[in-house]
Amino acid sequence: MISLLLPLLLQAAAPVVSAPPQDTLPPNTTVLSAPPAGFELPGCSRAIAGTVDGGWDPTDSDIAAMELALSDTLLGLAQDGGYTPGTESPDPLSYRPGDGRWQREMIGITRDGHRILYGNYLPIRATADAIRMPTNVCDGGPVFFAAEYDMDAGTITHLSFNGALGGPFWPVFTPGDAQP
């Protein structure tokens, strides 16, 4: 009888593992300092949405909200004719919140009175160089992308993918282009 109860007693004495807190950063996330007015976001082989008026410091929950919106937007783009699922590795159109296949460089910017969270996304295998500004990669293809999340609207307002020598070239997404 003791031998039957011993596993139950040991299991009851084991530490309880709880879910991680909601307000934790996704893996491989760097949060950069708020930029000054006139700061130039990296563009090179992808479009940028406009000039930066200033900056602010995002919280973990701000980043979590953006991650959810980004995942929904990319999933919607997978249904759009201008984007080709499965052609890239890793595939941005299969992105999920906290996706470990990417590194993130997050920076809070302001533009035209809006607080915008800018995310620069690089495949985990890429060498990031974000000390004071997002890593700038020319070419590389759509696995390198940037997203802008309007904090007040709660939506992705700009999403652009790097080009590559010979393609593919994915179009810039802004609301109204496609409905995720």
Question: Residues 72-120: pLDDT tens digits?
Answer: 999 999 988 778 888 889 999 999 999 999 999 999 999 999 999 999 9
Among 166, 145, 133, CA closest to 49: 145
> Looking at this protein, which amino acid is placed at residue 16?
V
User: Omega into 142 within 30° of 0, i.e. cis?
Assistant: no
pTM of the model: 0.80
Q: What is the mean pLDDT of residues 12-29?
A: 56
Look at residue 159 and tell me whether its pLDDT is greater than 90: yes
SS3 117: strand
pLDDT of residue 23: 61
Highest mean pLDDT among 14-28, 57-71, 121-135: 57-71
* CB proximity list for 44: less than 8 A, separation 6 or greater: 136, 137, 138, 139, 162
pLDDT of residue 127: 78
As a whole number of angstroms, the distance between CA 70 and CA 68 comes to 5
Q: Give one DSSP letter per residue of 1-21, joined into a string.
A: -HHHHHHHHHHHHSPPPPPPP
Look at residue 140 and tell me whether its pLDDT is greater than 90: no
pLDDT of residue 130: 61
